[in-house]
């Protein structure tokens, strides 16, 4: 293939979407890292030539800044096939329930490209939006708002391995506090995105909700990364689960058979065991982390589940049932 074509294709990949921008010197350095021989003057000439065909924007800054237009179509070679396009559609519907709007706006060109690739034999776009749905059995909460500026700063910090200065709204006293943080990872929990960080000189890991970050400024200071950062281990420690005990519990319970079937298809744990009691109930036993989420799950089944062990959990739920009875009895 012609070297000029390969160089120009690489240049298009180096240009970010507006409001981010790059410059001819930065593109030139990027081409050199990729092994393309060129001069700065050649890059400047190519950028102006490409702007005649592609939706590229140039500002009046010095050096001149270059960006893809916000609504520029996403280029993909080879083109997205039907299987990938449907997968993109399902992913979009799922991520709409998880990611902030700022992130979904950024991903919009890819989703749009996937939708445009779905055509019928007659050349008409297939409206799969009317044929595909993604739902949740749990109560769906709307994703909190995260500003685009904060999201872009966080992503840049993770990619460039640099510290961030943030103004963060504490959950308890609702006051804003300034922190210099080491961003180490990003975790999405239901509809909330959390940034895994170290704050200041503290060694322990913490997580900050992105929607509580009012301002974020990327610094030039490299991240002071611990020798070993294991996100899976941090998650397994029940950091996001409101853990109530350091030890797992041996949960034993009975559940009405009309609800029990879903645990046979999607077990609570690898070691889950069950037996049919023959009276409309199924008995289950398994080892689980003792978390607040577990109690929420149990309460959701009301009288269709009975906890037999551990005794402390059974007693707690029995006391709650008595309190509920008193609440409702007093209102009759």
The string of DSSP letters for 61-115 reads SSSPEEEE-TTPPPP-SSPP-HHHHHHHHHHHHHHTTTS-HHHHHHHHHHHHHHH
Structure tokens at 39: 């001069």
Measured CA distances, 169 to 143, 173, 176, 215 (Å): 17, 8, 4, 10
Using alpha carbons only, give the angle 13, 222, 239 rounded to the nearest 5 degrees.
95
Q: In the block, which residue shows the tokens 């689980």?
A: 288
Q: State residue 122's pLDDT score.
A: 47
Distance CA 26, CA 115 (A): 33
Whole-prediction pTM value?
0.57
What count of other Cβ atoms lies within 10 Å of the Cβ of residue 219? Answer: 13
- Alpha-carbon distance of 168 to 204, in angstroms, equals 18
CB 16 within 8 A of CB 70: no
Residues of the chain whose pLDDT is less than 50?
Answer: 1, 120-125
Per-residue CA distances from 5 to 8, 10, 12, 36, 124 (Å): 5, 9, 11, 11, 32
What is the number of H-type helices and E-type strands within the chain? Answer: 10, 12
Q: Look at residue 68 in the predicted model and tell me its pLDDT.
A: 87
The answer for residues whose C-beta is within 8 angstroms of residue 110's C-beta and 6 or more apart is 74, 88
pLDDT of 82: 65
Domain ranges for the chain, please list them: 3-68, 148-236, 249-330
CATH of 148-236, one of 3.40.50, 3.90.920, 2.30.30, 1.10.10: 2.30.30
* Distance (Å, whole) CA 285 – CA 268: 9
* Span 3-68 CATH architecture: Orthogonal Bundle (1.10)
DSSP one-letter string for 186-210: EEEETTEEEEEEEETT--S-EEEEG
Task: Give the integer Cα–Cα distance in Å for 316 and 321.
Answer: 9
What is the DSSP secondary structure assignment for residue 16, as one 8-state letter? P
Q: Can you give the three-state secondary structure of 151-175, one letter per residue?
A: HHHHHHHHHHCEEEEEEEECCCCCC
């Amino acid at each position: 293939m012609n070297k000029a074509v390969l160089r120009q294709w690489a240049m298009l990949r180096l240009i970010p979407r507006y409001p981010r921008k790059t410059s001819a010197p930065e593109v030139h350095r990027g081409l050199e890292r990729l092994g393309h021989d060129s001069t700065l003057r050649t890059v400047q000439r190519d950028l102006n030539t490409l702007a005649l065909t592609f939706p590229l924007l140039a500002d009046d800054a010095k050096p001149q800044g270059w960006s893809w237009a916000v609504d520029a179509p996403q280029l993909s070679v080879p083109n997205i096939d039907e299987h990938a396009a449907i997968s993109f559609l399902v992913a979009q519907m799922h991520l709409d329930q998880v990611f902030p709007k700022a992130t979904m706006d950024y991903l919009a060109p890819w989703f749009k490209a996937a939708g445009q690739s779905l055509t019928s034999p007659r050349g008409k776009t297939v409206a799969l939006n009317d044929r595909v749905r993604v739902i949740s059995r749990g109560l769906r909460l709307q994703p909190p708002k995260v500003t685009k500026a904060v999201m872009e700063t966080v992503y840049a910090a993770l990619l460039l391995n640099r510290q961030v200065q943030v103004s963060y709204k504490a959950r308890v006293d609702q006051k804003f506090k300034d922190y210099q943080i080491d961003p180490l990872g990003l975790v999405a929990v239901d509809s909330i995105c959390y940034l895994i960080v170290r704050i200041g000189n503290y060694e322990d890991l913490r997580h900050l909700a992105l929607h509580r970050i009012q301002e974020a400024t990327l610094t030039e200071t490299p991240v002071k990364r611990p020798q070993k950062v294991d996100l899976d281990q941090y998650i397994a420690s029940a950091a996001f689960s409101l853990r109530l005990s350091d030890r797992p519990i041996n949960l034993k319970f009975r559940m009405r058979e009309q609800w029990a079937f879903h645990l046979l298809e999607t077990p609570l744990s690898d070691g889950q065991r069950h037996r049919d009691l023959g009276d409309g109930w199924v008995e289950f036993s398994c080892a689980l982390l003792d978390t607040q989420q577990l109690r929420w799950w149990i309460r959701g089944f009301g009288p269709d589940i009975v906890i037999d062990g551990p005794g402390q959990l059974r007693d707690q739920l029995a006391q709650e049932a008595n309190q509920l009875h008193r609440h409702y009895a007093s209102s009759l």
